[in-house]
Structure 1
Amino acid sequence: MTVGDPTPRAVAVTRVRALALTGAGVLAALDLSLKAWAERDLSDGQAVDLALIELRLVFNPGVAFGLGSALPSALVLAVTGTIVAGLAVFVWRTPGTGAPVTAFALVVVLAGAVSNLADRAADGVVTDYLHTGWFPTFNGADVLITVGGFALVLGSLRAPSPRSGPAASP
C-alpha cells in the first residue's frame, strides 16, 4: 500500500454507500415507473380488480392518509424534502455500522421516501394506485416505507443489548 491509498475499510464503506444509493435509486425508479403507468392507464377512472387488491388511480395532496392535504403544497414539499434529505445523510453516514437488516431497512425507506418526494415535486401530489377496499389507497413507495419500518423494528429487536456481554457483569 502506498501513501494516499485508501484503507480496506474505506474501500468497503465506499462500496456499501454505492450499493445503498444504487439500490435506493433502482427501487425509487421502479415505483416512479409504476406511478407513471397508473397515471397513463388508469386515468379514465377504470379500476383493475386483482382479487386481493384493486388498481385505482388517486392523487394525494397530503402525506400519510391524506393528513395535511389543506396545507400549501410548497410547505408539504419543503417539510418532506427536509426529512428525506436528513434520511439520506443518515444512510450515507452509517454504512457498515449496523446489522445487514438495518442497512436493508434504511435503503428501502429511503427509496420510498425519494420516490414519493420526486412524485410530489412534479405536480404537488403523490400518485396512489393500490386499493384494498378497507384501507386508504396507497402506492409502492408507501409499501417500501412500511416494509423498511418493520425491518428497522425487527432489526432493533434482534440487536444485542449494549449492556450485554462480559463488561456488563457486576
Structure 2
Amino acid sequence: MTQHTTRLPSATRRRTALVAGAAALAAADLALKSWAQGALVDGPIGPEAAQLRLAFNPGVAFSLGETLPSWVVVAFTSLITVAVAVAVWRTAPRSRATATALAVMLAGAAANVIDRADDGVVTDYLHTGWWPTFNLADAFIVCGGLAMVALSWRRTSPEPGDTPTTA
C-alpha cells in the first residue's frame, strides 16, 4: 500500500503556525489572569518597584475610554482584533520575524478581548512603581508593535511572494 502525504501549501502552513502561536500565547496570558484573580485578592506580592498587583481596567491603554459603556469598548477592541487577524491571515508573511511580531500582537489583542468579553474589564497584574498596572497581553501588543516598526525600518525589498501595491 502506497502512502501519500499531501503537503500543505506554504501559505497555509504559515497561517496555521501564526494562529497556533497566537492561540498559545493568548492562552498563557489568560491562564496568568485567572491565577492573578485568585492569588492576588489579598493584596500585592513583591516590592513596589516590580510587583504583582490585581487591578481591573474598564478602558483600553492607560484606561482610555473607561467611562464608555463596556459594550462600546468590547465592540471597538473586537473590531481591531478581527482586523489584525484578517491582516495576519491575508499576508501570511514569509519572514519569521514578521510572522512572530504579528502573532504576538494578535495574541495580546485576542487575550484582552476574551478577558473583557465576560464583564467588560481586563485583568491587570503587573505593576511597577512608575507605570500603570498592565498584563502580559499588553506587553505582547506593545512588543509586537515595536518589532513591526523595527522590521519596517530594516526591510528594503519586498518579501518573496509579496505583491507590490499601486496607488
TM-score of the superposition, structure 1-length normalised? 0.85
Counterpart AA for 1:26: A
Alignment partner of 1:49 is 2:46: yes
Superposition deviation, residue 115 in structure 1: 0.3
Counterpart AA for 1:76: V
* 80-89 or 49-58, larger mean C-alpha shift: 49-58
Q: Greater CA radius of gyration, 1 or 2?
A: 1
Count of aligned positions: 154
Give the secondary-structure state (helix, strand or coil) at the position aligned to 2:101.
helix
Of the three residues 130, 134, 139, the one matched with 1:134 is: 130
- Aligned identity (percent) is 53
Superposition deviation, residue 100 in structure 1: 2.3
Mark the CA change 1:49 to 1:106 in structure 2 (over 3 Å): closer, same or farther.
same
Question: 1:153: which partner in 2?
Answer: 149
Cα offsets for 1:19-45 (capped at 9, x unmatched): 00000000000000000000011112x
CA distance in 1, matches of 2:15, 2:30: 22
Supply the RMSD in Å over aligned alpha carbons: 1.7
Superposition deviation, residue 51 in structure 1: 7.1
Mark the CA change 1:51 to 1:125 in structure 2 (over 3 Å): closer, same or farther.
closer
Counterpart AA for 2:35: W
Question: Which ranges in structure 1 are unaligned for 5 or more consecutive residues?
Answer: 1-5, 163-170
Question: 1:74: which partner in 2?
Answer: 71
Counterpart AA for 1:61: P
CA distance in 2, matches of 1:49, 1:92: 40
Superposition deviation, residue 72 in structure 1: 0.2
Question: 1:15: which partner in 2?
Answer: 13
Alignment partner of 1:34 is 2:15: no
Mark the CA change 1:68 to 1:51 in structure 2 (over 3 Å): closer, same or farther.
closer
| Runs of 4+ with >2 A deviation | none
TM-score of the superposition, structure 2-length normalised? 0.87
CA distance in 2, matches of 1:24, 1:67: 25
